Every structure is written in structure tokens, then in C-alpha cells.
């Protein structure tokens, strides 16, 4: 039984690299799962694709090789039609217990830019659910991701990582926004897109007093739903340029494959209000605004996901003790999970070996007693116990070796050797 993750995240790759590899729509991700099934038919897969990370988890029940890092890199290059050399050096790989531990840390937000952020566990659950709907999961990935959700719950319950500003939206508004504006109640907020991140950001802006909220979205139904939730007004995407010119704060979370606002478009929108400060929070992955928009003039303040790194690192340093508690939980859960997986692999062989040997023991003892009918019951009991102890002592070395080997992974070679030596894989034996 094998586990592996190949990934790039905010620590290993710049936003521009992550943008190339992101799966920006359910349709695209569904196509990716179809391709993975064709290329690696024996493996289970779950893909996590967010603004901060692209991670591909693979698991395999049998002895066939799991997709290698090079094979996953080739898949990503072919699927996204990008040169492999443009991102291959940014990919990392973990296997076995390290892959399990990595997911447990991700789900617990220990690997996030914003320590303790609640959004990541939702993203992990949604990724797992979508993989299940796409028939990409299996027994190993089911166990793995259910374990990750359990670990996340423990970390949130048993530590204080979630206290204070812990989400990307809260840090963006509380640190970036407040460095530009002293108040929000007189500002016009324009939200481009209507996804979960947009809603989370609006919750913090409303908490800070924002009143005038404009939601611009291609889909009218979801745009009106988001606007209604925050007492805002929906406008069609065709009016975006007008509302860009009116905005004091822009929150963009469309997930478009290409930037939707380039320098020329935004410069045209600002003609009437060149001296007005505008705070742009680009939370799209890939980014929605060209990075050069931030250099348009001194009153344009453009921040994207990568700009959160400095503040998030400061956040992390103030929670050192809670991090240590969370890491201990992750270590404990990883060890327990792997022991369960190894037992799942070795358990049937151990059970079969014990059954075979004790069946032989019982037959031989019964045969002996049939030849010695004069034995009293106490003598029979002593003989049975003695023979049973002999069998258990003979079984101890191979089972002990199997247990020791299982500490570092499923011992396929030893399992196969035991099956062959004791003919355990022959059904009529």
C-alpha cells in the first residue's frame, strides 16, 4: 500500500508558476481526473487546487509502481500545455508516511500562509468530495482524507491556532486595508466574482463598516445571491469598467485563466479619479489583475496572494507554542494512521498463518489422543497447552519480523516470502 503527493505551493513556487498548474474550474478538474484514470488506471487520486497550492495525491493498493514525480510532471505539462521545464524544479514529492503527514499538516493549516486559517479544511473536504464524485478515490484515499479531516478537527479543538486573524480575508482587510484607509463606511466596495473567497472578504469588510457593496459577476443568479447576503447590489459584467472607476476597494476572485484587467483597461477606468486611493485585493488564482496595474500611479495599491507572506510569517512566529502542540497531534495521528494501514496489509497474512498452524496443531493433537485413549483429561489438557506454546513460539520469529518491517512501510517482499514459504496463497492448502 503506497501513498504519494507531488505538489507546489506558496513556499516552493511564485504565483506565476502556480497559475500555470491551477485547475480553475470543476470541468477542467473533471477532465484531469479522466486523463489520470487513463494514464494511471491502478492508482487512486485526489487533487487539491487553490490559490496557494496545487497538490496531487496518489495511492495504490497493490505492488504495481505508483506514478512517479516525473510522470506527474509530464501529466501536468501535457494537460496544461505548458513546458515542463517552466515548473518542474518547483515540484516537490513526499511518499509513505511523509505524504500522509504532509496532508495532515495542510488540513490543519500548519502549511498555510495564514496560520490557522479555517478555509483550507473546507478546500480539502471539497477536493476530496469532488474526487469521489469523479470516481477518482478508493479505499486508501478515503481513509487518508477522512484521517486528515479528523486531524484538522483535533488541531482546531485542542490548540488556539484559530484565534485572532487567521484567514486570508481577515489579514488582507485588517492589515492591508487598514494601512490605506482609516474607515470603511464611506467606501465603495466592488467585488468581481461571487465565490467563497469573495463572500469571506465581504464579511470582514462589513464588520469594518462597509455599506456600499457592488457585486459584478458573469452569472446573474450567483451574483444576486452574494449581493443580497451583504445588502449589496448586483450589476452585470458588462458594467465592470464603470464600477472600476467608482471603486475605493476592489476584491477580485474570478479564477479566470487569464488576467481580466490589464494596465490599459484599468488606466482608462481611473481617468476620472486619478487622485483617489484604490485598494485592490486580487485573490484570483491565476491572478485577475496584471501585476503592472500596481505601478500605474501612487494611489493604486494592488495586493495579491503572495503579498500576504510577510504578515503571515509574523502571525506564525507569535504562535510558536500552539504550532508545537499542533505538530505533536499531527505526528501522533500520522503514526496511528500508518500503523492502521500496515496492519491492513499484514493482518490477513498473519491471520491466515495463525489459522493454518493451529489447524495443523489441532489435527495432530486429535490424532495423538485417538491413539492414547487412556489419557486422563488433565493429561490431555497439559499436552494441548504444551503443543500450543510450541506452535506460538515457532510463529513468533516470522510474525515479529513482519511487525518490525511494518514500522517503516508495507513489507511487500517479506509478505510475499511468507506466502511462498507457507503456501498461504494457495486456496486449497
Distances (CA, A) of 112 to 10, 55, 77, 213, 365: 8, 13, 25, 29, 63
One domain, residues 200 and 272: yes
User: In this predicted structure, what is the pLDDT of residue 426?
Assistant: 46
Same domain? 9 vs 148: yes
**Is the per-residue pLDDT at 416 higher than 90?**
no
Residue 328, domain member (yes or no): no
User: Do 308 and 177 lie in a common domain?
Assistant: yes
Task: State the Cα–Cα distance between residues 277 and 180, nearest whole angstrom.
Answer: 8
137 is catalytic: no
**Residue 429's pLDDT is what?**
39
**327 domain residue, yes or no:** no
Q: Are 15 and 58 within one domain?
A: yes
Residues 53 and 178 in one domain: no
Q: Is residue 395 part of a domain?
A: yes
What pairing do the DSSP bridges indicate for beta strands 233-236 and 212-217? Answer: parallel
Question: How many Cβ atoms sit within 10 Å of the Cβ of residue 15?
Answer: 20
**CATH number where 231 lies:** 3.40.50.720
Question: Which of 8, 51, 137, 312 is the catalytic position?
Answer: 51
The whole-angstrom separation of Cα 192 and Cα 216 is 5
What is the mean predicted confidence (pLDDT) over 337-352?
Answer: 74
> By residue range, what is the domain housing residue 409?
355-421
Query: How many whole angstroms separate alpha carbon 173 and alpha carbon 191?
Result: 14
- 6 and 117 both lie in a single domain: yes
Asked if 277 and 250 touch (Cβ cutoff 8 Å), the reply is no
Do 248 and 394 have their domain in common? no
| Residue 185 sits in the same domain as residue 293 | yes
Domain boundary among the residues 126, 144, 163 is at: 163
Q: How far is CA 336 from the centre of its chain?
A: 19
Residue 393: CB atoms within 10 A of its CB come to 9
Would you give the DSSP letter of residue 85? G
* Same domain assignment for residues 154 and 174: no
Number of domains in the chain: 3
Is residue 226 a part of any domain in this protein?
yes
Does some domain include residue 334?
A: no
Q: What are the residues facing 261 on neighbouring strands?
A: 289
Q: How many CB atoms lie within 10 A of CB 233?
A: 14
Q: What pLDDT, in 10s, does the model give residues 56-94?
A: 999 987 667 889 999 999 999 999 999 999 999 999 999
Rg (CA), the chain: 29
Looking at residue 411, its pLDDT comes to: 60
Burial 183-201 (b: 16+ CB within 10 A, else e): ebeebbbbbbbbbebbbbb
Residue where a domain terminates, one of 112, 145, 163 = 163
Q: Are residues 131 and 200 in the same domain?
A: no
Indicate if 88 and 180 belong to the same structural domain.
no
Q: In what order do the strands lie in the sheet with 44-49?
A: 44-49, 53-60, 2-9, 92-95
pLDDT of residue 412: 62
Average pLDDT, the chain: 87
pLDDT digits (tens, 9 = 90+) for 87-116: 999 999 999 899 999 999 999 989 887 777
Position 292 confidence tier, pLDDT thresholds 50, 70, 90:
very high
What pLDDT is attached to residue 357?
81
Q: Where are the beta strands (DSSP E) in 19-178?
A: 44-49, 53-60, 92-95
* Residue at 151 is within a domain: yes
Residue 112 lies inside a defined structural domain of this protein: yes
| pLDDT value for 188 | 95
Determine contact, residues 147/365, Cβ cutoff 8 Å: no
Each residue of 83-117: b (16+ CB within 10 Å) or e?
A: eeeebeebbbbbbbbebbbbbbbbbbbbbbbbbbb
Same domain, yes or no: 309 and 174:
yes
Amino acid at each position: 500500500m503506497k501513498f504519494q503527493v507531488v505538489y507546489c505551493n506558496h513556499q516552493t513556487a511564485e504565483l506565476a508558476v502556480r497559475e500555470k498548474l491551477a485547475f480553475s474550474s470543476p470541468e477542467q478538474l473533471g477532465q484531469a481526473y479522466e486523463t489520470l484514470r487513463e494514464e494511471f488506471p491502478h492508482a487512486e487520486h485526489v487533487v487539491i487546487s487553490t490559490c496557494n497550492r496545487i497538490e496531487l495525491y496518489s495511492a495504490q493498493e497493490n505492488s504495481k509502481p505508483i506514478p512517479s514525480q516525473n510522470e506527474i510532471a509530464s501529466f501536468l505539462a501535457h494537460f496544461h500545455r505548458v513546458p515542463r521545464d517552466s515548473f518542474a524544479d518547483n515540484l516537490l514529492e513526499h511518499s509513505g508516511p511523509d505524504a500522509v503527514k504532509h496532508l495532515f499538516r495542510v488540513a490543519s493549516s500548519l502549511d498555510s500562509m495564514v496560520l490557522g486559517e479555517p478555509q483550507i479544511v473546507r478546500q480539502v473536504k471539497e477536493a476530496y468530495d469532488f474526487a469521489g464524485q469523479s470516481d477518482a478515490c478508493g479505499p486508501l484515499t478515503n481513509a487518508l482524507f477522512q484521517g486528515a479531516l479528523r486531524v484538522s478537527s483535533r488541531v482546531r479543538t485542542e490548540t488556539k491556532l484559530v484565534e485572532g486573524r487567521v484567514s486570508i480575508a481577515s489579514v488582507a482587510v485588517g492589515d492591508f486595508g487598514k494601512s490605506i484607509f482609516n474607515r470603511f463606511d464611506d467606501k465603495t466596495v466592488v467585488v468581481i466574482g461571487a465565490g467563497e473567497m469573495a463572500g469571506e472578504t465581504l464579511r470582514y469588510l462589513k464588520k469594518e463598516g462597509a455599506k456600499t457593496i457592488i457585486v459584478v459577476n458573469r452569472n446573474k443568479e450567483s451574483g444576486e445571491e452574494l449581493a443580497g447576503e451583504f445588502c449589496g447590489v448586483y450589476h452585470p459584467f458588462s458594467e465592470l469598467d464603470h464600477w472600476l472607476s467608482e471603486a475605493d476597494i476592489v476584491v477580485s476572485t474570478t479564477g479566470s485563466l487569464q488576467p481580466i484587467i490589464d494596465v490599459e483597461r484599468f488606466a482608462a477606468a481611473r481617468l476620472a479619479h486619478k487622485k483617489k486611493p484604490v485598494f485592490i485585493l486580487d485573490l484570483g488564482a491565476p491572478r485577475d489583475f496584471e501585476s503592472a496595474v500596481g505601478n500605474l500611479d501612487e494611489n493604486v495599491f494592488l495586493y495579491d496572494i503572495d503579498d500576504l507572506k510577510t504578515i503571515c510569517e509574523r502571525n506564525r512566529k507569535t504562535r510558536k507554542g500552539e504550532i508545537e502542540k499542533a505538530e505533536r497531534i499531527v505526528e501522533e495521528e500520522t503514526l496511528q494512521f500508518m500503523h492502521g494501514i500496515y496492519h491492513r496489509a499484514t493482518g490477513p497474512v498473519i491471520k491466515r498463518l495463525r489459522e493454518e498452524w493451529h489447524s495443523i496443531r489441532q489435527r495432530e493433537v486429535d490424532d495423538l489422543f485417538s491413539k492414547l485413549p487412556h489419557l486422563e483429561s488433565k493429561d490431555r489438557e497439559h499436552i494441548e497447552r504444551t503443543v500450543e506454546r510450541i506452535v506460538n513460539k515457532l510463529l513468533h520469529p516470522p510474525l515479529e519480523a513482519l511487525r518490525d518491517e511494518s514500522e517503516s512501510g508495507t513489507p511487500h517482499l517479506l509478505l510475499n516470502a511468507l506466502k511462498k514459504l507457507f503456501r498461504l496463497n494457495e486456496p486449497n492448502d
